[in-house]
Structure 1
Amino acid sequence: MKVGILTFHHTTNYGATLQAYALWTIIKDQGHDVEFIDYRPHRAVRYYLKEIQPINKKNKKFLVNRQAFSNLVKAWKMRRFLLSEVRLSRKKSYLRSGLKEFYGKYDLVVCGSDQIWCIDTYFRGFDPSYFLDFLSEQKTCRKVSYAASFGKTETLGKHQKVICKLISQFDAVAVRDSNSLRLIQEECGREAVKVLDPTFLVDYSKITSVPDLTDEYLLIYNQTPLNLEQQNFVRAVAKVKNLVIISVGEYDQVAAKNFINISPDEWLGYFSKASYVVTNTYHGTIFSLIFKKSFTVFANKKKSNKTNDLLQLLGLENRVILEPSPVSSITEESLKINYTLIDEKLEKEVFRSKTYLLNALDGKQG
């Protein structure tokens, strides 16, 4: 069967890149002919280009981007990873009008598994392409969502009628968080299922590049700089566990070593060998769980609904902190996570989510 995937694959975010890789891999492993629809909305392209420009304009002022070169290297490594590990469509489109080229090309199109339905993202906004509107008139192509998310969107507002009409044309709808499930059920009156992010469904041993570090380390993966209280917490944890502090993906001044412009396989390697993880990201949390790491999540208002949703499912709500605990209360025992019960719960959810996806691909779900 010819399968197309529409998701956020053109990005410099490690989580987005790996969710794309994971979804493509599990579909390919079922024997399907699968590729990404290479749609790169021009608004998103402009946003990512700012990361690699040496000088940016903000509030009528010109600012020097000191991480431009590192960001350029990171973007190149992300692109190289995708081209070597997955398959993109031969044709690419920067405009919605270009998606008509993909009409009639696939037996099934899967959209997901990212915040592709978040209509409040300032540099993307509402894009009906991610609800597969360009396939609306094609009756022979099945439409499925897997772990799609509305992100922080609280209501569909003025887009409700259009979105609900497009959602009604899906053969199966699966989302990855309770907020997205609520919007589908309450505002569209459509049944949907909550599933795990696809990154939980595949093995990474073949693409993980183990770092050449001899010291045991605490890994920071934060998309915003740590504040003073968070820095003190990290230092205290590192002291209790006798760890060197490193940061990946972004520079952090509390880290002894910063690895910014690394590839996704290197990023996986640093997670796989970490002795402790501190993050404020959804996929930072996921890969801490995948590699069975003890970890702390600093609450991030933009990511809180999906991260809290996942950790509540596993009974790990206490790993999210709004304000760091007093340094004196941090002990070796308080930092530990017992993965015996966690693995049991996660195994059941992985099986349920994978079964749903495979059934949806075979037309047994809807």
Structure 2
Amino acid sequence: MTIPRKIGVLTFHRCINYGSYWQARCLIEGLRGMGHEAVLLDHYSPAINRREWRCALDPLLPTKSSVFDRLQYAVKTRRFLNALEALPRSARFELDDPSSLGRWDLVIVGSDEVWNGRHPWYGGHALFYGHGVQAVRLVAYAASFGSQSASDYLPSALVEGLRTFSCISVRDANSVAIAANVLGQRPETVFDPCLLFPPLLGRPQSSAEDPYIAVYGHGFSAGFAQAIRDFAHATGHRLVSIGYRNSWTHEQFLQADPGDFARVLASATAVVTNFFHGCVFALINKKPFACETSSYRANKVTDLLALLSADAHLITERSNYAQVQSLLQTPLEPEISGRLHSLRARSQRFLERALEP
């Protein structure tokens, strides 16, 4: 029998980013579905918000967005903020002063790059390492060091914060290596909350009459973009860019809110991405997909696909048009579904153990 717990989730829920929103929402909804009183710990920083919003209005820097695109990104930002307001949250508190937060049965830190010291504005913030958090138990679920290298220095105060966690799980091999190095014990690898508690959005619309390929990300290489264009032309597909402008696609859906993002990927014929959650939502919806690697997201993307034995979906400079064509018109391998099932069960077991009184 589940004993209801008062749970706070500490993550980057204020980022104007589809992955940040959905992993926060899926974890909250999953915990509530398990019978717990779970809310997002609503940290707030005017300085960080300004930086986040500036990035949201001009996300392709150093390439400047046009005035028209900035207006579209402003609509997207407002829609994100409205979606955030609808999520269960604690009373708002200052990021640098969590003293008003009160005491919790359990605080779960994670489901994002919460320990990435290279994050442009949250990097190395002590709160995400447990400092100032008042909880009977402190747990890390699917936390990540992101693009931070195992050779990077981690201040002793942050290491001591990590030692206060009752149990730690991470979502990629790089984070396993860093945590094992500084703590002397190997953490468990678990799924991103979107894969553990997939969002329920109803039946996706069929794209059979007007087929399209969803494009999620930016900064794609010219060769990869041309291969996708050639494939779309040969097969009669539109290319719909979701959330960011990609000038080589047929359609730009820049103002998409988190719900739009999930529905567009669920109804697409296939997914093209260089983002972690582009892969995640393709996997959730069992869509053919191709992911181009990028240096900033290499750790989490490559580790996720390696975990699922789906490395073939990674595209590099050595890939050719035939590989891209094959990936976008071939159903996902049955072995991937089997691995998803077993790793989802393993992640569920970890979370259940972590929630025990």
Match of 2:154 in 1: 159
User: Matches of residues 76-87 of structure 1 in structure 2 within 5 Å?
Assistant: 76-84=78-86, 86-87=87-88
Q: Match of 1:146, SS?
A: strand
Q: Percent of pairs identical after alignment?
A: 25
1:302 to 279, 296, 299: 296
Q: CA deviation at 1:217?
A: 0.6
CA deviation vs aligned residue, 1:284-323 (integer Å, no higher than 9, x gap): 0111111111111011111111111111112111211112
* In 2, Cα distance between equivalents of 1:231 and 1:296: 11
SS at match of 2:90: strand
C-alpha distance in 2, partners of 1:79/1:203? 22
Q: Is the 8 A contact 1:292 1:339 kept in 2?
A: no
97, 107, 110: which one pairs with 2:108? 110
For 2:292 and 2:327, the matched residues in 1 are separated by: 19
**In angstroms, what is the RMSD of aligned CA positions?**
2.5
Instruction: State how far apart, in whole Å, the 1-side matches of 2:73 and 2:81 are.
Output: 12
Deviations 1:69-118 (A, max 9, x none): 2122111211222222x21112232x412x111132x1110011100100
The alpha carbon displacement at 1:238 in A equals: 1.3
1:91 maps to what in 2? Answer: 92
Task: Compare 20-29 and 317-326 and name the one that shifted more.
Answer: 317-326
Please identify, of 232-241 and 165-174, the stretch whose mean Cα deviation from structure 2 is larger. Answer: 232-241
Task: Kindly report which structure 2 residues correspond to 1:208-227, keeping only aligned pairs within 5 A, or say none.
Answer: 210=205, 214-224=209-219, 226-227=220-221
Deviations 1:217-275 (A, max 9, x none): 11110133x33212211112213433111111111112111111111111111111111
User: Please, which moves more after superposition, 282-291 or 247-256?
Assistant: 247-256
CA distance in 1, matches of 2:186, 2:321: 47
Q: Per the alignment, do residues 65 and 132 of structure 1 end up closer, same or farther by CA in structure 2, a change over 3 Å counting?
A: farther
Deviation at 1:27, TM superposition (A): 0.9
TM-score normalised by length of structure 1: 0.88
Q: Evaluate the alpha carbon distance shift between residue 88 and residue 335 of structure 1 in structure 2; reply closer, same or farther with a 3 A threshold.
A: same
Of 73, 77, 84 in structure 2, the residue corresponding to residue 71 of structure 1 is: 73
Q: Aligned-pair distance for 1:276?
A: 1.4
1:18 aligns with 2:13: no
> Do structure 1's residue 170 and structure 2's residue 169 form an aligned pair?
no
In structure 1, list runs of 5 or more residues that go unmatched.
none
Equivalent of 2:235 in 241, 251, 256:
241
SS at match of 1:67: helix
Distance 2:206 2:45 in 1: 35
Q: Which 10-residue stretch deviates more, 43-52 or 337-346?
A: 43-52
Provide the secondary structure at the position in 1 that maps to 2:148: coil
Give aligned pairs, total.
350
Q: Report the counterpart of residue 268 of structure 1 in structure 2.
A: 262
Q: Which residue of 2 aligns with 1:148?
A: 143
Query: Would the aligned equivalents of 1:208 and 1:266 in 2 still touch at CA under 8 Å?
Result: no
Distance 2:7 2:347 in 1: 19
Q: Distance in 2 between matches of 1:295 and 1:63?
A: 27
The amino acid across from 1:251 in the alignment is R
Q: Is the 8 A contact 1:211 1:270 kept in 2?
A: no
Which amino acid letter does the alignment assign opposite residue 45 of structure 1?
N
- Where does structure 2 lack aligned partners over 5 or more consecutive residues? none
* Residue of structure 1 in register with 2:35 after alignment: 31
Distance 1:323 1:63 in 2: 27
Partner of 2:45: 41
Change beyond 3 A, Cα 1:347–1:75 = same
| Structure 2 CA distance for partners of 1:208 and 1:134, relative to 1, 3 Å | farther
Q: Deviations over 1:26-65 (max 9, x none)?
A: 11111111111111334431212214669xx99xxx9965
Find the aligned partners of 1:109 and 1:65 in 2 and give their Cα distance.
42
Q: Quick one: distance in 2 between partners of 1:334 and 1:19?
A: 25
**Per-residue CA distance 1:155-184 (angstroms, 9 max, x = gap):** 475534212211111111011111111111
Question: Aligned partners of 1:100, 1:206: CA distance in 2, in Å?
Answer: 37
Residue 347 of structure 1, CA deviation: 0.2
Do the aligned partners of residues 116 and 156 (structure 1) sit closer, same or farther apart at CA in structure 2, a change above 3 Å counting?
A: farther
Q: How far is 1:3 from its partner?
A: 0.8
Report the residue type matching 1:34 in the other structure.
Answer: A
Kindly provide the amino acid, as one letter, of the partner of residue 343 in structure 1.
S
Structure 1 match to 2:100:
101
Contact in 2 for aligned 1:209/1:265 (Cα 8 Å): no
Residues 1:184 and 2:179 aligned together: yes
Helix, strand or coil at the partner of 1:237: helix
| 1:191 Cα offset (Å) | 3.8
Deviation, 1:208, is: 7.7
Judge which range, 66-75 or 193-202, deviates more.
Answer: 66-75
Distance 2:69 2:290 in 1: 27
Q: Deviations over 1:328-359 (max 9, x none)?
A: 66655884144321111110000110111122
The residue that corresponds to 2:248 in the other structure is: 254
